[in-house]
């Protein structure tokens, strides 16, 4: 009969969780050459009773890049993160209720066949019965953060599978917020959605850049690539390794923001964001409207057009756009 080992309140010098090693709050999983840790945390405040299992930077503990049980927080510090009898990773509370699972189905997997490792911010689940094949990874189930080596967002025209970033509801609540970002499978472009409505679009990928992004040098040309595989799966990936830690985050406001860690100043810096002013929001001025953030008001109609709804236009709601002053006389 095997004996499980419970690690509590210490940092492990190993990167594995298996059938005999599991984490109990407040333990963390970490290895010396990894800039990430995995463990239990409370967002924003150590006094919060809500606890989550997540991944964060070793040098910036408040910068969480992935959360397991986003919509089902632990209500106390009784949480356990382990491999269950069916080989899946699970988050369990003190009543042994499963709040989150990696949800990989396999009738042949048994408890001794699975191992979990933390690799550069990617939590991977390995099937040791099949030469250590990766059967699940957090990179393919992201939260609100895009990290180097990720291949997301994924959008498959063939299978209908779509993987997207989802914003936190608030800075203190990592549950699913109102915003998401994904890449289209046909004529690839990045989109930020607010529910079912497009908030921002990057413009089409032309093989080197997204043509609608104005400050191209901040989304480094030649550093990223959009890959369209033969089976219709499209994903964004990073080609160039950089020394500094870098990431893209879909913020709670719906803005997609790039940041990198300045080791000298010991803080995050923000060279680029998708939405810098109201004119960057998709459809701000509506059909046949023109937007200039330096004007007041920022919206005006194209020559020969006038506001479709003057009352809304005067109140600063330009979304209905403009119509022609005179209808076309066509036989």
Identify whether residues 132 and 150 lie together within a single domain. Answer: no
Does position 182 have pLDDT exceeding 80, yes or no? yes
In angstroms, the CA 2 to CA 260 distance is 45
Encoded tokens for 119:
């690799």
Query: Which contiguous run of DSSP H or E holds residue 323?
Result: strand 322-324
Range of the domain at 298: 278-324
Encoded tokens for 142:
């992201």
Identify whether residues 1 and 135 lie together within a single domain. Answer: yes
Identify whether residues 126 and 137 lie together within a single domain. Answer: yes
Each residue's pLDDT tens digit, 270-294: 999 999 999 999 999 999 999 999 9
In a domain, 249, yes or no: yes
Q: Is the pTM of this model over 0.85?
A: yes
Confidence of residue 232 (pLDDT cuts 50, 70, 90): low
Domain boundary among 109, 141, 173: 141
- Residue 216, pLDDT score: 52
Q: Give yes or no for a contact between 118 and 30, defined as CB atoms under 8 angstroms apart.
A: yes
Does position 1 have pLDDT exceeding 50, yes or no? no
Structure letter (DSSP) for residue 138:
G
For residue 12, the number of C-alpha atoms closer than 13 Å in the C-beta half-sphere is 24
- Residue 148, pLDDT score: 86
Identify whether residues 51 and 107 lie together within a single domain. Answer: yes
- Strands of 128-245, DSSP E: 133-137, 145-146, 155-156, 165-170, 173-183, 190-194, 197-201, 224-228, 233-238
Q: Which of 6-10, 169-173, 186-190, 324-328 has the lowest mean pLDDT?
A: 6-10
Does position 220 have pLDDT exceeding 70, yes or no? no
Identify whether residues 155 and 127 lie together within a single domain. Answer: no
Domain boundary among 141, 164, 187: 141
Q: Which of 73-87, 120-134, 243-257 has the lowest mean pLDDT?
A: 120-134
Q: Which of 96-105, 239-248, 267-276 has the lowest mean pLDDT?
A: 239-248
In angstroms, the CA 136 to CA 127 distance is 9
Mean pLDDT for the stretch of residues 33-62: 89
């Amino acid at each position: 009969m095997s004996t499980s080992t419970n690690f509590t309140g210490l940092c492990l010098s190993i990167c594995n969780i298996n059938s005999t090693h599991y984490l109990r709050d407040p333990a963390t999983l970490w290895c010396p050459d990894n800039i990430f840790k995995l463990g239990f945390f409370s967002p924003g405040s150590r006094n919060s009773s809500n606890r989550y299992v997540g991944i964060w930077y070793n040098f910036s503990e408040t910068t969480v890049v992935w959360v397991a049980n986003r919509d089902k927080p632990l209500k106390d510090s009784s949480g356990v993160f382990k491999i269950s009898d069916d080989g899946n990773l699970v988050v369990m509370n003190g009543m042994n209720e499963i709040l989150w699972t990696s949800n990989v189905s396999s009738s042949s997997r048994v408890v001794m066949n699975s191992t979990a490792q933390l690799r550069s911010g990617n939590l991977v689940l390995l099937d040791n019965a099949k030469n250590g094949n990766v059967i699940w990874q957090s990179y393919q189930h992201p939260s609100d953060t895009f990290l180097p080596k990720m291949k997301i967002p994924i959008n498959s025209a063939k299978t209908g599978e779509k993987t997207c970033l989802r914003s936190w509801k608030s800075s203190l609540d990592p549950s699913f917020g109102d915003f998401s970002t994904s890449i289209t499978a046909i004529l690839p472009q990045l989109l930020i959605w607010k529910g079912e409505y497009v908030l921002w679009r990057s413009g089409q990928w032309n093989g080197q850049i997204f043509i609608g992004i104005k400050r191209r040098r901040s989304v480094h040309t030649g550093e990223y690539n959009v890959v369209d595989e033969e089976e219709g799966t499209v994903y964004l990936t990073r080609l160039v390794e950089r020394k500094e830690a870098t990431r893209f985050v879909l913020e709670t406001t719906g803005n997609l923001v790039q940041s990198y860690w300045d080791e000298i100043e010991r803080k995050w810096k923000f060279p680029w964001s998708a939405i810098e002013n109201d004119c960057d929001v998709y459809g701000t001025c509506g059909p046949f409207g023109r937007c200039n953030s330096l004007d007041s008001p920022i919206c005006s109609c194209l020559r020969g057009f006038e506001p479709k709804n003057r009352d809304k236009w005067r109140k600063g709601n330009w979304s209905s756009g403009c119509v022609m002053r005179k209808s076309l006389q066509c036989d």
